[in-house]
Structure 1
């Protein structure tokens, strides 16, 4: 039961974070500002940690999510979580390094995360310019 609550809350946080990019509210001040940079950074951090939590929650439920080329000899929960955060960051910001590969349901989740990672900068820039013109 706790697993489902944490999973649902994590997905909710990711959706709400991505939603803030697409809802109509004005970008404050200049297009390039510390406030806008921090806003974008917090959106990325929320999504990065959220997907890391989704991966680790699925693994704790017995789903195979990824395969590592260089696994650590001591895989504590914290080590696994850090690995999933790393995998989430590499998926969100690039196409991956190849040291970790998603498998099973992890492939679908990684595709969704990569799509979000590519969409956020474009949506943010479009939002900034559209709001500045009004």
Structure 2
């Protein structure tokens, strides 16, 4: 039963990540407004969703017995609150920077971290490009 719950959480995390990307692409600024609070909040929501989604994936794999992250010299262990804190920290650092090296991915965790880092680099570019394309389409309609 616990394994099914972890698989469900992992699938829901992936669905949440995809849905937040769709929200980012769909939610465009109004014509002639290049920057708005609404766009900033959407981008912030997308980043938060991706951080939490990948954090849930790392945590689910950890509970399934797959070693994905090393802290210091050994496997991450400890109370649940500490594990959640570590995976969310690693997820945020991987998405927003290239990492600090205090928590290291291993095995399949390396591939997941690479995908997450790539998403972290592509998100701002996708946001800017979709905003520019939308503004150009809106200008052509007038």
TM-score normalised by length of structure 2: 0.85
* 8 Å Cα contact 1:27-1:36 kept in structure 2: yes
Which of residues 3, 28, 32 is equivalent to 1:26? 28
Q: What is the CA-CA distance between 1:28 and the residue it aligns to? A: 3.0
Q: What is the CA-CA distance between 1:17 and the residue it aligns to? A: 1.2
* 8 Å Cα contact 2:24-2:42 kept in structure 1: no
Q: Which runs of 5+ in 1 are unaligned?
A: none
Kindly name which structure, 1 or 2, has the bigger radius of gyration based on alpha carbons: 2
Could you say which residue in structure 1 is the equivalent of 2:79?
76
Q: In structure 1, what is the Cα distance between the partners aligned to 2:112 and 2:119?
A: 11
* Greater than 6 Å deviation, 4+ residue runs: none
Q: 1:60-81, CA deviations, whole angstroms, 9 ceiling, x for partnerless residues?
A: 000001111288xx82111101
Q: In structure 1, what is the Cα distance between the partners aligned to 2:13 and 2:127?
A: 22
Q: In structure 1, what is the Cα distance between the partners aligned to 2:38 and 2:30?
A: 8
Q: How does 1:6-45 map to 2 (within 5 A)?
A: 6-23=9-26, 26-28=28-30, 30-45=33-48
Q: State the number of aligned residues.
A: 132
Which of residues 111, 115, 124 is equivalent to 1:112? 115
TM-score normalised by length of structure 1: 0.90
Q: CA RMSD for the aligned pairs? A: 1.9
Could you say which residue in structure 2 is the equivalent of 1:90?
93
Which of residues 24, 30, 52 is equivalent to 2:55? 52
Q: What is the CA-CA distance between 1:7 and the residue it aligns to? A: 1.3
